[in-house]
Amino acid sequence: MDFLSISFINRAFAAGVLTSILISTVGVFVVLRRMSMVGDSLSHASLAGVAFGMLFGIYPFYGALVFTVIAAILIEILRKAFKKYSEVALAVVMSAGIGLAVVMISLGKSFNRDLFSYLFGSLIAVSETDIKIMGFLGLAVITSIIALNRELFAVTFDEESAKISGIPVNLINLYLSLVTALSVALSVRIVGTLLVSALMVIPTAVSLQVSKSFKMVFIISNLVALFSVILGIIISYYFDLAPGGTIVLISSFILAIALLIKGVRSGWD
């Protein structure tokens, strides 16, 4: 375990713990609202933000944060414009995000190698500044979720009833979109833009297979994400693998086991 004495590994663990709890918590709301693809849309926007930052000399992490927030606001605007076809909003933002990213990447060919760490995650790329940003924003998001848990619960399961009871549904929806955007951007360093949505969805999918209460969905989702990230960082360090892909494969393996166990139990019943 001598690798724990290495500074960048400690930073990777700190970032991994913060982002795994954050992204898996937000992922519960995303999945239950049947908007699992929102992570993909926002991750493509974050890639455009990273490319923008590299092209214009801005810290790419800041670019990812700004672009995902803008994308979240656009998603909410388009969802209102296409009320009967809300999935159009996700497709439009995803397409625009990847299109913008590709154009800026082609303009800045020299930073393609640096871009690789943002695409698939990197252990050595996490800086002290990243940790401070993740810690501050992560704590703010988790605190706000705890404070608004009743409103979030109501809007997640029945928007019409929530409106009747006086809950500002539009504001809560915008809040969820912004929180999801921040979660995606903060997770890019460890998981990468191409795989962050998987870490948002898979732990929740595992939790829904084994949980019997709304509270347990959060707890199990957090544990699955936390275990996947920590083990993924260790394996990727020793075998020189991309941490994002390793983390997602571990969480996918856990989901496969959960489905297998549930299938076996159903057969017994």
Q: What is the residue extent of each domain of the chain?
A: 2-264
Q: What is the mean pLDDT of residues 214-235?
A: 93
**CA-based torsion, 99, 103, 108, 110: positive or negative:** positive
More confident residue, 109 or 241: 241
d(CA 130, CA 152): 28
pLDDT one-digit tens code per residue, 121-175: 887 778 888 889 889 988 999 999 999 999 998 998 888 888 898 999 989 988 9
Nearest to 16 by CA among 121, 140, 142, 137: 121
Residue 201: per-residue pLDDT: 94
Count CB neighbours of 265 within 10 A.
9
Pick the CATH number of 2-264 from 1.10.10.60, 3.30.230.10, 1.10.760.10, 1.10.3470.10: 1.10.3470.10
Count CB neighbours of 105 within 10 A.
18
Q: In the chain, which ranges are continuous DSSP H helix?
A: 7-32, 38-56, 60-81, 87-107, 112-120, 128-147, 149-157, 159-164, 169-191, 196-210, 214-239, 243-268
Count CB neighbours of 135 within 10 A.
14
Q: Is it the case that residue 268 has pLDDT exceeding 70?
A: no
Q: What percent of the chain is predicted at pLDDT more than 90?
A: 41
Q: Is it the case that residue 269 has pLDDT exceeding 60?
A: no
152, 155, 157, 163: CA torsion to nearest 10: 140
Residue 223: per-residue pLDDT: 96
Q: Is it the case that residue 83 has pLDDT exceeding 80?
A: no
Q: What is the mean pLDDT of residues 102-122?
A: 77
d(CA 225, CA 174): 25
Q: Is it the case that residue 28 has pLDDT exceeding 90?
A: yes
Cβ atoms of 8 and 190 within 8 Å: the answer is no
**CA-based torsion, 248, 183, 16, 209: positive or negative:** negative
**CA-based torsion, 23, 29, 35, 38: positive or negative:** negative
Q: Is it the case that residue 247 has pLDDT exceeding 70?
A: yes
Cβ atoms of 243 and 232 within 8 Å: the answer is yes
Nearest to 32 by CA among 147, 148, 149, 153: 153
Residue 113: per-residue pLDDT: 61
Band of pLDDT at residue 220, cut at 50, 70 and 90: very high
Q: Is it the case that residue 84 has pLDDT exceeding 80?
A: no
